[in-house]
């Protein structure tokens, strides 16, 4: 049995979002092919994803200086505990699928906040004399992204996601792009159906 972590990084539903629709196609296929796997869905727009802010930074600094966790204020304790839980959730997963749209050539800010929780020195990578070394090797990741234009993986967003995952040691990063519909709206049904078919195929073999 494998653990699949699903990161839904779009605030809209499958009826409103191309990337979420593709994610739904993937999940439907994946569940049929992997009936015993454990699937956990993290919705970054509805679940609490703490951003790195003054409270987190000051709380971490206090802990490094030897303070007791209980000496931190309630908000700091909540944020640090949740940040750590998200890191452990990622570490405990065998497979991860991330679905988002390309917004202004970048990832949604909520997705960036989550990515910060999986890029953690001492947990998912470590510093060595030869430079940083990833500690999260062995996971399989699928990144689903909808783009209005056609970038073929050369956009900042997908390169950033893949770059971070490679940095923490994950080599098997597959990508599924839903591209070009805004350029050619008359081909929307055709292009969307192609993407849904690819998503279902990924689900069968991921």
Residue 136, pLDDT score: 98
125-144 confidence digits (pLDDT tens): 999 999 999 999 999 999 99
Residue 35, pLDDT score: 97
Residue 153, pLDDT score: 95
Residue 7, pLDDT score: 98
Residues of the chain with pLDDT under 50: none
Residue 69, pLDDT score: 98
Residue 154, pLDDT score: 96
Rounded to 5 degrees, φ, ψ at 17 are -120, 130
Residue 75, pLDDT score: 98
Residue 182, pLDDT score: 94
Kindly tell me the sign of the dihedral angle through the C-alpha atoms of 81, 87, 91, 94. Answer: positive
Residue 181, pLDDT score: 96
Contact between residue 106 and residue 160 where contact means Cβ atoms under 8 Å apart? yes
The fold of 3-49+95-205 is Rossmann fold (3.40.50)
Checking DSSP bridges between strand 95-101 and strand 140-147, what pairing results, if any?
Answer: parallel
| Bridge partner residues of 97 (DSSP) | 6, 142
Domains of the chain, residue spans: 3-49+95-205
The Cα 51–Cα 99 span in angstroms is 19
Angle between helices 18-33 and 188-205 (to 10 degrees): 30
């Amino acid at each position: 049995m494998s653990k699949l972590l699903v990161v839904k990084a779009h605030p809209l539903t499958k009826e409103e979002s191309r990337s979420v629709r593709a994610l739904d196609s993937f999940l439907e296929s994946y569940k049929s092919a992997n009936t015993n796997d454990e699937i956990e869905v993290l919705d970054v727009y509805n679940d609490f994803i703490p951003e790195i802010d003054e409270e987190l930074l000051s709380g971490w600094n206090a802990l490094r200086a030897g303070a007791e966790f209980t000496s931190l204020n309630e908000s700091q304790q909540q944020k640090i505990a949740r940040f750590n839980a998200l890191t452990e959730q990622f570490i405990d997963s065998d497979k991860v699928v991330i679905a988002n749209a390309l917004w202004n050539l970048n990832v949604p800010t909520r997705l960036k906040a989550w990515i910060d929780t999986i890029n953690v020195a001492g947990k998912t990578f470590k510093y060595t004399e030869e430079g940083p070394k990833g500690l999260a090797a062995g996971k399989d990741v699928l990144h689903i992204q909808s783009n209005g234009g056609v970038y073929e993986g050369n956009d900042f967003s997908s390169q950033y996601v893949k770059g971070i995952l490679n940095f923490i040691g994950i080599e098997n990063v597959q990508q599924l792009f839903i591209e070009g519909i805004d350029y050619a709206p008359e081909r929307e049904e055709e292009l969307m159906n192609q993407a849904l078919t690819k998503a279902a195929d990924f689900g069968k073999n991921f």
